[in-house]
């Protein structure tokens, strides 16, 4: 499973790729597998994990400023199911996640999501 953690800063979103294909879990933080070097984000802020039979989980790893899913704070070191894939589906539109004070959206990694507005418009155009 490949995901994008997107931080929207004005007109220029910043994407952080998360590849759960080989490693079924990735640490997110300033020194994690997914490096987000923003002030207030801990070295090992949280961990995202995936198993096809159970789903996608997010766990706060004892970060100083916390982790939220859809506005709900996570308890430290208690993995929270954020998307159930037990029915075989791995498609979702986006999950709101907050690391410290920074809002992110967790998305499926699709080619159309990597393109800017012009690229998306051109890819929709049939010639």
Environment class of residue 28 by beta-carbon count within 10 Å: exposed (0-12), middle (13-18) or buried (19+)? buried
Cα–Cα dist 62/83, whole Å: 22
**Phi, psi at 6, each rounded to 5°:** -110, 125
pLDDT truncated to tens, each residue of the chain (127 aa)?
899 999 987 788 899 999 998 889 999 999 999 999 999 999 999 999 998 888 999 999 999 999 999 999 999 999 999 988 777 666 667 899 999 999 999 998 876 555 555 554 554 554 4
Count of domains for the chain: 1
SS3 assignment, position 124: helix
pTM equals 0.82
- CATH of residue 96's domain is 2.60.200.20
- Residue span of the structural domain in which 9 resides: 2-124
């Amino acid at each position: 499973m490949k995901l994008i953690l997107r931080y929207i800063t004005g007109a220029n979103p910043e994407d952080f790729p998360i590849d759960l294909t080989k490693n079924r879990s990735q640490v997110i933080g300033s020194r994690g597998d997914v490096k987000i070097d923003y002030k207030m984000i801990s070295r090992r802020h949280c961990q995202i994990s995936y198993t096809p039979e159970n789903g996608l989980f997010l766990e706060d790893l004892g970060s100083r400023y916390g982790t939220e899913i859809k506005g709900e704070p996570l308890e430290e070191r208690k993995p929270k199911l954020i998307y159930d894939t037990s029915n075989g589906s791995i498609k979702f539109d986006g999950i709101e996640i907050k690391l410290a004070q920074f809002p992110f959206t967790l998305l499926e990694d699709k080619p159309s999501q990597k393109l800017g507005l012009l690229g998306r418009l051109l890819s929709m155009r049939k010639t």
